[in-house]
Amino acid sequence: MSQDHIVKQYDIDLENIRNRVLQMGGLVEQQIIKAMTGLVEGDRQLIEQTIDNDHQVNRLEVELDEACTQIIARRQPTAVDLRMVMMVIKTITDLERIGDEAKKIAKAAKAIHEAGASLMPKIDLRHIAEDAVAMLRKALDAYARLDLNAAAQVVRQDQEVDAEFKSIMRQLITFMMEDPRTISRSIDLMFIAKSIERIGDHSKNISEYVVYMAKGRDVRHIGLEAIEREVAG
């Protein structure tokens, strides 16, 4: 087998892995949308589908992790290629955890609808969920195109989602104080809001891996302004 053929196959293997990450990202995005639609519309079938489909997300993570391990063992990648494999390994971990959060949302939605709609605080979680899904989409787009500006935008959006989450917490605490009968349902909604906030955090992580891939620098925990300077530099 010629050296050119080996190099070409290596490139194909790397590209296949990158594309399968996007496939996993698409599946996870659908899991969030189904869970939230099930919550808002009381669609038990969508809720059950979300819970049942979590194993597909887990299977993809295991398969991709194995593919990355094989690449490292057989090809011993260096420099940019090694960073790409490391980015994939980290990204699939965050995608799997986003899948877990979607499953948690679905389970909480199931509990809410089984208990009935009485004493349900009037809190609309659709907006924060839409923002978190938008973050995930942009993070995956940044990953696909190695778009550093898009990556920085996701980090900025995470601050907005965090602020929305804190506002929802304050509203729910007010409901519980004014009418203790709403406590049980309020706690369910708190868990859902926290899962949505965590989806934003994981999307931010994915964007930070994109900066690591392109710049060779770990930008976790350095703050938004420092990330934006790194992107602009």
Q: Give the pLDDT of residue 1.
A: 47
Show the tokens assigned to 118.
Answer: 């009485």
pLDDT category, 232, cuts 50, 70, 90?
low
Q: Give the pLDDT of residue 116.
A: 77
Q: What is the mean pLDDT of residues 26-54?
A: 96
Which residues in 132-168 are b (16+ Cβ under 10 Å) and which e?
Answer: bbbbbbbbbbbbeeebbebbbbbbebbeebeebbeeb
pLDDT category, 198, cuts 50, 70, 90?
very high
Show the tokens assigned to 71.
Answer: 């690449």
The neighbour count for residue 178, using CB atoms within 10 Å, is: 9
Question: Which of 39, 146, 24, 151 lies closest to 97 in space, CA to CA?
Answer: 24
Q: Give the pLDDT of residue 214.
A: 81
Question: Which of 132, 134, 158 lies closest to 227 in space, CA to CA?
Answer: 158
Domains of the chain: 3-232 (1.20.58.220)
Per residue in 19-38, pLDDT (tens digit) is 999 999 999 999 999 999 99
Q: What does pTM read for this prediction?
A: 0.92
The neighbour count for residue 192, using CB atoms within 10 Å, is: 26
